[in-house]
Amino acid sequence: MISDKVRPHHLERKAILYVRQSSAHQVLHNRESSALQYAMRDRLTALGWSEIEVIDDDLGRSAAGGIQRAGFERMVAEICLGKVGVHISLMVSSDFARS
């Protein structure tokens, strides 16, 4: 199904799919999450994008502690330069309380 919100000027630019999990443990043990995130590429194709850049440089890198995330920085730069018609990512955050 193609959305009426997607216009030709959006499709003229590339789509970015940002794939990320915060820890190496998540990357190794939550494979379903990775599969779901990569599958969003199919949705972008269905919406009409032919140029899709997948940025997954930051897999296993937490945003805590000042760790640089080169993939995120590249994505933001591309958006700010007007090269991106859409970006898509799945945000999942979990906090584990210890008793």
Domain annotation covers residue 99? no
Domain annotation covers residue 76? yes
Domain annotation covers residue 8? no
Domain count within the chain? 1
Query: Which structural domain, as residue segments, surrounds residue 51?
Result: 14-89
- Tell me how far apart the alpha carbons of residues 30 and 11 are, in angstroms, rounded to a whole number: 32
pLDDT tens-digit profile, the chain (99 residues): 567 788 888 999 999 998 877 666 665 666 777 778 888 999 999 999 999 999 988 776 666 666 777 888 899 999 999 999 999 887 655 444 333
Amino acid 65: pLDDT: 64
- Tell me how far apart the alpha carbons of residues 34 and 87 are, in angstroms, rounded to a whole number: 17
Instruction: Using the Cα atoms of residue 56, residue 58, residue 60 and residue 64 in order, give the sign of their dihedral.
Output: negative
Domain annotation covers residue 36? yes
What's this model's pTM, rounded to 2 decimal places?
Answer: 0.74
Q: State the CATH number of the domain containing residue 45.
A: 3.40.50.1390
Domain annotation covers residue 1? no
Q: Considering the candidates 3, 22, 89, 93, report the single residue annotated as catalytic.
A: 22
Question: And the tokens for 59?
Answer: 């897999």
The answer to whether residue 3 is catalytic is no
Domain annotation covers residue 77? yes
Q: What is the DSSP string of 37-94?
A: HHHHHHHHHHTT-S-EEEE-TTTT--SGGG---HHHHHHHHHHHTT-EEEEEE-----
Amino acid 80: pLDDT: 95
Domain annotation covers residue 96? no
Q: Which residues neighbour 68 within 8 Å (Cβ) at sequence distance 6 or greater?
A: none
- Tell me how far apart the alpha carbons of residues 88 and 69 are, in angstroms, rounded to a whole number: 17
